Amino acid sequence: MTKIKMDYKNLQEWDFYTNDISTELTQLIAEGKDIDEFIPIFESVAKLSNSEHKSELCDVLYKIAMDAKIRDDYKYYEPSDLDGIKKLRKQHKINGTVPDADLLKKKIHGAWTGRIAGCLLGKPLEGIRTNELIPLLKETGNYPMSRYVLKRDITEEMCNRFKFNLRDKCFADTVDGMPVDDDTNYTALYQLLIEKYGRDFTPENVARLWLGSQSRDAYFTAERVAFGNFVRGYAPPESAIYKNPYREWIGAQIRADYFGYINPGKPEIAAEMAYRDASISHIKNGIYGEMFAAAMLACAAVTDDINEIIMGGLAEIPHTSRLYEAVTGIINMHNSGKSINDCYKHIHSEFDEHTGYGWCHTISNAMIVTTGLLYGEGDLGKSICIAVEAGFDTDCNGATVGSVIGMRNGIDCIGEEWTKPLNDTLHTSIFGIGTVKISELAEKTLKHI
pLDDT digits (tens, 9 = 90+) for 306-347: 999 999 999 999 999 999 999 999 999 999 999 999 999 999
**Could you give the C-alpha distances from 375 to 334, 345, 410, in angstroms and in order?**
8, 15, 19
CATH number of 82-124+176-448: 1.10.4080.10
Lowest-pLDDT range, 1-5, 282-286, 436-440? 1-5
Q: How far apart are CA 441 and CA 261, in angstroms?
A: 11
pLDDT at 53: 94
pLDDT at 430: 98
Q: How far apart are CA 143 and CA 87, in angstroms?
A: 44
Q: How far apart are CA 348 and CA 369, in angstroms?
A: 14
pLDDT at 15: 85
Q: How far apart are CA 298 and CA 233, in angstroms?
A: 34
User: Is 33 within 8 Å of 73 (Cβ atoms)?
Assistant: no
Which tens digits make up the pLDDT trace of 98-122?
A: 999 999 999 999 999 999 999 999 9
Identity at 52, one-letter amino acid code? E
Q: Where in the chain is the domain with CATH 1.10.4080.10?
A: 82-124+176-448
pLDDT band at 3 (very low <50, low <70, confident <90, very high): confident
Indicate the pTM of the whole model.
Answer: 0.97
User: Is 136 within 8 Å of 130 (Cβ atoms)?
Assistant: no
ω into residue 144 within 30 of 0, thus cis? Answer: yes
Q: For residue 188, with 0-12 CB atoms within 10 Å meaning exposed, 13-18 middle and 19 or more buried, which class applies?
A: buried
User: Is 54 within 8 Å of 18 (Cβ atoms)?
Assistant: yes
Which tens digits make up the pLDDT trace of 411-440?
A: 999 999 999 999 999 999 999 999 999 999
pLDDT of residue 387 exceeding 80, the answer is: yes
pLDDT at 13: 78
**95 vs 236, more confident:** 236
The secondary structure of 312-326, three-state, reads HHHCCCCCCCHHHHH
Q: How far apart are CA 392 and CA 78, in angstroms?
A: 24
Q: For residue 56, with 0-12 CB atoms within 10 Å meaning exposed, 13-18 middle and 19 or more buried, which class applies?
A: exposed
Half-sphere exposure at residue 421, Cβ-oriented, CA atoms within 13 angstroms? 22
Dihedral of alpha carbons 70, 72, 73, 78, sign: positive
pLDDT at 214: 96
Percent of the chain scored above 70 by pLDDT?
Answer: 99
Residue 217: DSSP 8-state: G
ω into residue 124 within 30 of 0, thus cis? Answer: no
Spatial CB neighbours of 284, under 8 Å, sequence gap ≥ 6: 31, 78, 79, 80, 247, 248, 321
pLDDT of residue 12 exceeding 90, the answer is: no
| Stretch 348-359: mean pLDDT | 97
Query: Over the range 355-374, which residues count as b (16 or more CB within 10 Å of their CB) and which as e?
Result: ebbbbbbbbbbbbbbbbbbb
Residue-averaged pLDDT of the chain? 96
Q: How far apart are CA 235 and CA 221, in angstroms?
A: 18
pLDDT band at 1 (very low <50, low <70, confident <90, very high): low
Residue 91, number of CB atoms within 10 A of its CB: 7
Q: How far apart are CA 297 and CA 310, in angstroms?
A: 9
Q: How far apart are CA 114 and CA 422, in angstroms?
A: 11
| Stretch 376-391: mean pLDDT | 98
Which tens digits make up the pLDDT trace of 162-174?
A: 999 999 999 999 9
pLDDT of residue 95 exceeding 90, the answer is: no
Note the residue count of the chain: 449
pLDDT at 14: 82
User: Is 106 within 8 Å of 324 (Cβ atoms)?
Assistant: no
pLDDT of residue 10 exceeding 90, the answer is: no
pLDDT at 16: 84
pLDDT band at 402 (very low <50, low <70, confident <90, very high): very high
Which tens digits make up the pLDDT trace of 23-43?
A: 999 999 999 999 999 999 999
Q: Torsion over CA of 297, 302, 305 and 311, rounded to 10 degrees?
A: -50
pLDDT at 219: 97
Spatial CB neighbours of 281, under 8 Å, sequence gap ≥ 6: 222, 223, 225, 226, 239, 240, 244, 247, 251, 252
